[in-house]
A = this chain, B = another copy of it.
Amino acid sequence: MGLTKTEIFSDKQNQLATALKAIAHPARIAILQQIIAAKACICGDLALELGLAQATISQHLKELKTAGIIKGTIEGVSVCYCINDEVWNTLSKQLSSFFASNEIDAKSCC
C-alpha cells in the first residue's frame, strides 16, 4: 500500500496538509527565513549560505514553488525567489483558525 487515501478527506484537509508538508523541512524553513530576511533569494547564494548542494536547494525551491509559497522572477542569468504574499497570508489565516479552534474551556471529554 503506502499511498495516502486523500479521497476520504476534505479538500481543505488535503490542502492544509500539502501546504504544511511543503514547509515541514528544516532546509525549507531555513530557505524561507533567508528569503524573508532577504539575505539571499538566489539559488546559488542559498546553497552557499545553508551548506547544501545546489541541486538540493533547487529541489527544495521547486517544492516551495509548486506549493505556491514562493515565486521566482528571472533576473538575468539567475532567478530571484520571494514569498508569494497572497498564499502566505491565506495559509497564515488558515493555520490561525485551525489552532484557535481548540478552545481551552470547551472540553467535553478527557
Which residues of A line the B interface, CB within 8 A?
4-6, 8-9, 13-14, 16-18, 20-21, 23-30, 33, 36, 38, 41, 50-52, 73, 75, 80-83, 85, 88, 91-92, 95-96, 98-102, 104, 107-110
Contacts and interface: CB of A to CB of B under 8 A. Distances in A.
Q: How many copies does the complex hold?
A: 2
- Which secondary structure dominates where chain A touches chain B? helix
A57 B88 CA distance: 31
A100 B99 CA distance: 15
Contacts of A26: 4, 6, 9, 13-14, 16-17
B110 A41 contact: yes
Contact of A95 (B6, B13, B95, B110): B95
